[in-house]
Amino acid sequence: MKFLRHLILALVLLPVWAWAFSPSLQIRVESEWGNASPTDVKAVLDSVIFTMTPYVGLRSLDDIIVRNDRKGPISLYERGSQDEYIILLDVHGRYWAQLAYQFSHEICHLLSNYDLAPNNSSRQQWFEESLCEAFSLYTLEQMARDWETDPPYPGWKDYAPELQKYADNMLNQQHRNLASNLPEWYREHRSVLENNPYAQDRRLNEKFASHLLAIFQQQPLNWQAINYLNLG
Protein backbone atom coordinates (compact mmCIF):
# COMPACT_ATOMS: atom_id res chain seq x y z
CA MET A 1 0.00 0.00 0.00
CA LYS A 2 2.92 2.33 0.71
CA PHE A 3 4.13 2.02 -2.89
CA LEU A 4 0.67 2.77 -4.25
CA ARG A 5 0.19 5.78 -1.99
CA HIS A 6 3.54 7.28 -2.97
CA LEU A 7 3.01 6.65 -6.67
CA ILE A 8 -0.42 8.26 -6.74
CA LEU A 9 0.94 11.17 -4.71
CA ALA A 10 3.73 11.62 -7.25
CA LEU A 11 1.23 11.64 -10.09
CA VAL A 12 -0.85 14.30 -8.39
CA LEU A 13 1.86 16.53 -6.95
CA LEU A 14 4.61 16.37 -9.55
CA PRO A 15 5.53 19.96 -10.51
CA VAL A 16 3.81 20.95 -13.70
CA TRP A 17 5.25 23.12 -16.43
CA ALA A 18 2.57 24.74 -18.57
CA TRP A 19 4.52 24.11 -21.74
CA ALA A 20 3.03 22.43 -24.75
CA PHE A 21 5.06 21.08 -27.62
CA SER A 22 4.40 20.43 -31.26
CA PRO A 23 4.60 16.70 -31.91
CA SER A 24 7.38 16.00 -34.38
CA LEU A 25 6.73 12.28 -34.69
CA GLN A 26 5.42 10.84 -37.93
CA ILE A 27 2.83 8.07 -38.08
CA ARG A 28 2.94 5.60 -40.97
CA VAL A 29 -0.19 3.53 -41.44
CA GLU A 30 0.27 0.10 -43.01
CA SER A 31 -1.91 -2.92 -43.86
CA GLU A 32 -5.65 -3.11 -44.59
CA TRP A 33 -8.34 -1.53 -42.42
CA GLY A 34 -11.55 -2.98 -43.80
CA ASN A 35 -13.68 -0.27 -45.38
CA ALA A 36 -11.62 2.49 -43.71
CA SER A 37 -9.02 4.22 -45.85
CA PRO A 38 -5.46 4.48 -44.48
CA THR A 39 -5.72 8.25 -44.94
CA ASP A 40 -8.74 8.44 -42.65
CA VAL A 41 -7.13 6.07 -40.16
CA LYS A 42 -4.09 8.32 -40.02
CA ALA A 43 -6.32 11.35 -39.48
CA VAL A 44 -7.76 9.73 -36.35
CA LEU A 45 -4.33 8.70 -35.07
CA ASP A 46 -2.95 12.19 -35.68
CA SER A 47 -5.93 13.58 -33.77
CA VAL A 48 -5.02 11.43 -30.77
CA ILE A 49 -1.49 12.83 -30.78
CA PHE A 50 -2.68 16.40 -31.28
CA THR A 51 -5.25 16.07 -28.49
CA MET A 52 -2.87 14.73 -25.84
CA THR A 53 0.23 16.72 -26.76
CA PRO A 54 -0.51 19.65 -24.39
CA TYR A 55 -0.85 17.32 -21.41
CA VAL A 56 2.29 15.20 -21.55
CA GLY A 57 5.03 17.75 -21.08
CA LEU A 58 8.09 18.54 -23.14
CA ARG A 59 8.42 15.01 -24.53
CA SER A 60 9.21 13.68 -27.98
CA LEU A 61 8.83 10.17 -29.36
CA ASP A 62 10.34 8.32 -32.28
CA ASP A 63 8.20 7.81 -35.36
CA ILE A 64 5.52 5.12 -35.25
CA ILE A 65 4.42 2.40 -37.66
CA VAL A 66 0.80 1.36 -37.09
CA ARG A 67 -0.54 -1.90 -38.48
CA ASN A 68 -3.91 -3.60 -38.30
CA ASP A 69 -3.46 -7.09 -36.90
CA ARG A 70 -5.55 -9.59 -34.96
CA LYS A 71 -2.67 -9.81 -32.47
CA GLY A 72 -3.31 -6.22 -31.43
CA PRO A 73 -3.68 -3.98 -29.66
CA ILE A 74 -0.06 -4.12 -28.52
CA SER A 75 3.16 -2.12 -28.67
CA LEU A 76 5.97 -4.36 -29.88
CA TYR A 77 9.45 -4.41 -28.38
CA GLU A 78 10.71 -4.93 -31.92
CA ARG A 79 11.53 -1.72 -33.80
CA GLY A 80 11.22 -0.83 -37.49
CA SER A 81 14.13 -0.57 -39.92
CA GLN A 82 14.49 3.14 -39.11
CA ASP A 83 14.06 2.56 -35.38
CA GLU A 84 10.34 3.33 -35.47
CA TYR A 85 8.01 2.07 -32.79
CA ILE A 86 5.60 -0.58 -34.05
CA ILE A 87 2.03 -0.60 -32.78
CA LEU A 88 -0.51 -3.26 -33.73
CA LEU A 89 -4.20 -2.36 -33.49
CA ASP A 90 -7.22 -4.56 -34.09
CA VAL A 91 -9.91 -2.43 -35.75
CA HIS A 92 -11.66 -3.44 -38.94
CA GLY A 93 -13.77 -0.66 -40.38
CA ARG A 94 -14.61 2.96 -39.71
CA TYR A 95 -14.82 2.58 -35.94
CA TRP A 96 -13.08 5.82 -35.05
CA ALA A 97 -13.81 5.66 -31.32
CA GLN A 98 -12.42 2.14 -31.03
CA LEU A 99 -9.41 3.18 -33.09
CA ALA A 100 -8.70 6.20 -30.88
CA TYR A 101 -9.23 4.15 -27.73
CA GLN A 102 -6.76 1.44 -28.73
CA PHE A 103 -4.15 3.81 -30.14
CA SER A 104 -4.16 6.18 -27.17
CA HIS A 105 -3.68 3.23 -24.81
CA GLU A 106 -0.59 2.17 -26.75
CA ILE A 107 0.72 5.74 -26.93
CA CYS A 108 0.53 5.77 -23.15
CA HIS A 109 2.76 2.68 -23.04
CA LEU A 110 5.29 4.45 -25.26
CA LEU A 111 5.26 7.50 -23.03
CA SER A 112 5.60 5.20 -20.01
CA ASN A 113 8.90 3.84 -21.33
CA TYR A 114 7.39 0.39 -21.77
CA ASP A 115 10.51 -0.80 -23.58
CA LEU A 116 12.43 -0.53 -20.29
CA ALA A 117 9.89 -2.67 -18.46
CA PRO A 118 11.62 -6.05 -19.09
CA ASN A 119 14.43 -4.83 -16.84
CA ASN A 120 12.03 -3.53 -14.22
CA SER A 121 11.31 -6.08 -11.50
CA SER A 122 8.94 -3.91 -9.45
CA ARG A 123 5.93 -6.08 -10.40
CA GLN A 124 3.88 -2.96 -11.03
CA GLN A 125 2.90 -3.64 -14.65
CA TRP A 126 -0.71 -3.66 -13.48
CA PHE A 127 -0.38 0.01 -12.54
CA GLU A 128 0.89 0.94 -16.00
CA GLU A 129 -2.02 -0.94 -17.55
CA SER A 130 -4.49 0.89 -15.32
CA LEU A 131 -2.86 4.21 -16.09
CA CYS A 132 -3.03 3.60 -19.84
CA GLU A 133 -6.68 2.61 -19.58
CA ALA A 134 -7.38 5.92 -17.85
CA PHE A 135 -5.30 7.71 -20.49
CA SER A 136 -7.32 6.22 -23.34
CA LEU A 137 -10.65 7.18 -21.76
CA TYR A 138 -9.42 10.69 -21.03
CA THR A 139 -8.24 11.03 -24.62
CA LEU A 140 -11.65 10.01 -25.96
CA GLU A 141 -13.34 12.61 -23.77
CA GLN A 142 -10.99 15.34 -24.96
CA MET A 143 -11.29 14.32 -28.60
CA ALA A 144 -15.07 14.46 -28.31
CA ARG A 145 -14.79 18.09 -27.23
CA ASP A 146 -12.20 18.92 -29.89
CA TRP A 147 -14.19 17.36 -32.72
CA GLU A 148 -17.24 19.46 -31.86
CA THR A 149 -15.40 22.50 -33.21
CA ASP A 150 -12.29 21.22 -34.99
CA PRO A 151 -12.65 17.69 -36.38
CA PRO A 152 -10.08 16.25 -38.80
CA TYR A 153 -12.64 16.82 -41.59
CA PRO A 154 -15.70 19.11 -41.45
CA GLY A 155 -17.98 16.15 -42.13
CA TRP A 156 -16.75 14.37 -39.01
CA LYS A 157 -18.13 16.95 -36.59
CA ASP A 158 -21.28 14.88 -36.05
CA TYR A 159 -19.14 11.96 -34.90
CA ALA A 160 -17.94 13.86 -31.81
CA PRO A 161 -20.80 12.58 -29.59
CA GLU A 162 -19.93 9.00 -30.58
CA LEU A 163 -16.47 9.40 -29.08
CA GLN A 164 -17.98 10.48 -25.77
CA LYS A 165 -20.60 7.75 -25.97
CA TYR A 166 -17.87 5.11 -26.39
CA ALA A 167 -16.11 6.35 -23.26
CA ASP A 168 -19.37 6.60 -21.32
CA ASN A 169 -20.40 3.07 -22.25
CA MET A 170 -17.14 1.72 -20.90
CA LEU A 171 -17.24 3.79 -17.72
CA ASN A 172 -20.80 2.65 -17.05
CA GLN A 173 -19.76 -1.00 -16.90
CA GLN A 174 -20.47 -2.22 -13.39
CA HIS A 175 -16.99 -3.54 -12.68
CA ARG A 176 -15.56 -0.06 -13.31
CA ASN A 177 -17.48 1.52 -10.43
CA LEU A 178 -15.27 3.24 -7.89
CA ALA A 179 -14.28 1.11 -4.93
CA SER A 180 -15.92 2.34 -1.73
CA ASN A 181 -12.61 1.91 0.11
CA LEU A 182 -9.64 2.01 -2.25
CA PRO A 183 -6.91 1.10 0.30
CA GLU A 184 -8.92 -1.92 1.39
CA TRP A 185 -9.59 -2.91 -2.22
CA TYR A 186 -5.88 -2.67 -2.99
CA ARG A 187 -4.89 -4.81 -0.01
CA GLU A 188 -7.38 -7.44 -1.12
CA HIS A 189 -6.16 -7.58 -4.72
CA ARG A 190 -2.50 -6.61 -4.47
CA SER A 191 -0.99 -10.08 -4.78
CA VAL A 192 -3.28 -10.96 -7.68
CA LEU A 193 -2.33 -7.81 -9.58
CA GLU A 194 1.39 -8.19 -8.95
CA ASN A 195 1.38 -11.78 -10.16
CA ASN A 196 -0.89 -11.20 -13.15
CA PRO A 197 -1.29 -7.61 -14.35
CA TYR A 198 -4.18 -8.69 -16.60
CA ALA A 199 -6.07 -10.65 -13.94
CA GLN A 200 -9.81 -11.15 -14.25
CA ASP A 201 -9.71 -10.17 -17.92
CA ARG A 202 -8.37 -6.70 -16.97
CA ARG A 203 -11.39 -5.93 -14.82
CA LEU A 204 -9.24 -5.05 -11.81
CA ASN A 205 -7.15 -2.69 -13.94
CA GLU A 206 -10.28 -1.06 -15.29
CA LYS A 207 -11.73 -0.43 -11.83
CA PHE A 208 -8.49 1.17 -10.66
CA ALA A 209 -8.38 3.18 -13.91
CA SER A 210 -11.66 4.82 -12.91
CA HIS A 211 -9.96 6.16 -9.78
CA LEU A 212 -7.00 7.44 -11.79
CA LEU A 213 -9.26 9.05 -14.38
CA ALA A 214 -11.04 11.02 -11.66
CA ILE A 215 -7.66 12.38 -10.51
CA PHE A 216 -6.56 13.47 -13.97
CA GLN A 217 -9.90 15.02 -14.83
CA GLN A 218 -9.19 17.44 -11.98
CA GLN A 219 -5.49 17.96 -12.79
CA PRO A 220 -4.97 17.07 -16.47
CA LEU A 221 -1.50 18.55 -16.83
CA ASN A 222 -0.25 15.98 -14.35
CA TRP A 223 -0.43 13.45 -17.17
CA GLN A 224 3.19 14.33 -17.82
CA ALA A 225 4.06 12.17 -14.81
CA ILE A 226 3.75 9.12 -17.07
CA ASN A 227 7.07 10.11 -18.62
CA TYR A 228 8.81 8.88 -15.46
CA LEU A 229 7.41 5.37 -15.29
CA ASN A 230 9.78 2.41 -15.71
CA LEU A 231 12.89 4.56 -15.35
CA GLY A 232 14.14 2.48 -12.43
Mean pLDDT of 162-170: 97
Q: What is the pLDDT of residues 104-126, one digit of tens each?
A: 999 999 999 988 766 555 678 89
- Look at residue 2 and tell me whether its pLDDT is greater than 50: no
First to last CA, the chain: 19
How much of the chain exceeds pLDDT 70, in percent? 87
Q: What is the pLDDT of residues 30-79, one digit of tens each?
A: 999 999 999 999 999 999 999 998 888 878 889 999 999 999 999 999 99
pTM to 2 decimals? 0.88
The pLDDT value given to residue 119: 58
With 0-12 / 13-18 / 19 or more C-beta atoms within 10 angstroms meaning exposed / middle / buried, residue 9 is exposed
Beta bridge partners of 5: none
- Look at residue 10 and tell me whether its pLDDT is greater than 60: no
The pLDDT value given to residue 59: 80
CATH code of the domain occupying 2-228: 1.10.390
The pLDDT value given to residue 230: 85
